[in-house]
Copies of this chain bind each other. A is one copy, B any other.
Amino acid sequence: MTALSAPPPPKIRLFVDAPLAAGAAPALSAEQSHYLLHVMRAQPGSEVALFNGRDGEWRAVLVEAGKRVARLAVSTLLRPQRPEPDLWLVFAPVKRARIDIIAEKATELGVSALVPVLTRHTAAGRVNEQRLRSIAVEAAEQSQRLTVPEVFGYRPLDAVLADWPKERRLILLDETGGGQSVAEAFSGGAAEPAALLVGPEGGFAKSELDAIGGLAFASSIGLGPRILRADTAVIAALACFQALCGDWRSHPPSRN
């Protein structure tokens, strides 16, 4: 059977804040305009896919390529909005290069929020939330996500735990090898809302582990016999969660 197929979705994807609907003319930032016009060398008539985390993904066409500003016109809906799994990543900041990896990979792996926390053994005095957000936007564009993970403000772990929404399961990645195996812990399938918690390179302090151990919504998992770096542990645990409890039984948009 032969069917008339829709034109392929545009290769360039951009996240915008503005509402999206047929006929809309969302503004691009100066950086996005530069990227579109001078890096990707888009011309009037070039197509772009736009998403804003609320209104789905839309096809848009470049109608004016000024020196500094690109103007787009939104035409048709490519994909309706759908949520990512409700999965937070709570993490102690590590060295710059590895925190970039964590933000990029966690976005590709579908987290809904990045929650940086200060722990006893955390080395990083501050967190550049704007940078985390930029990395998350780029990874969302590249990975075909329809949302960008929220980036929470940097707060002490004990403050975050004191405010914790009790219905959200907190899963500690225990690098000392305690906790259930991943296969056991995630065998039950869907378990949202959830959060994975990973400590700094030096691990959690004993007092922190004791405090977490006493929380009714918390449990811990071990990630096998080898010691993983914090960024590896994050990616590994997120992948296992999505494969067993999340949305990995579905396919990329090109298959749907």
- Give chain B nearest CB distance to A40 CB in angstroms: 17
Contact of A246 among B104, B175, B224 (CB under 8 A): B224
Q: Using Cβ atoms and an 8 Å threshold, which residues of chain B touch A250?
A: 224-225
Q: Which of A80-125 contact B (CB under 8 A)?
A: 101, 104-105, 108-110
Query: How far is B229's CA from A228's CA once the two chains are assembled, in angstroms?
Result: 20
Q: How many copies altogether?
A: 2
Q: Does A211 contact B (CB under 8 A)?
A: no
Contact B226 A110 (CB under 8 A): yes
Size band of the interface chain A makes with B: 35 or more
Q: A224 near B247 (CB under 8 angstroms)?
A: yes
Does A35 interact with chain B (Cβ within 8 Å)? no
Among B227, B240, B244, the residue within 8 A (CB) of A142 is: B227
A20 within 8 A of B: no
CB within 8 Å of B: which A207-256 residues: 222-229, 232, 235-240, 242-244, 246-255
Q: Considering the chains assembled together, what is the distance between the CA atoms of A186 and B108 in angstroms?
A: 21
Q: Of B101, B186, B226, B246, which is within 8 A of A101 by CB?
A: B101
A183-B244, A227-B143, A246-B224 known; A178 vs B236 contact (CB < 8 Å): no
Top 8 nearest A-B pairs (CB, nearest first) are A236-B239, A224-B248, A177-B251, A182-B243, A177-B255, A177-B252, A143-B226, A225-B250
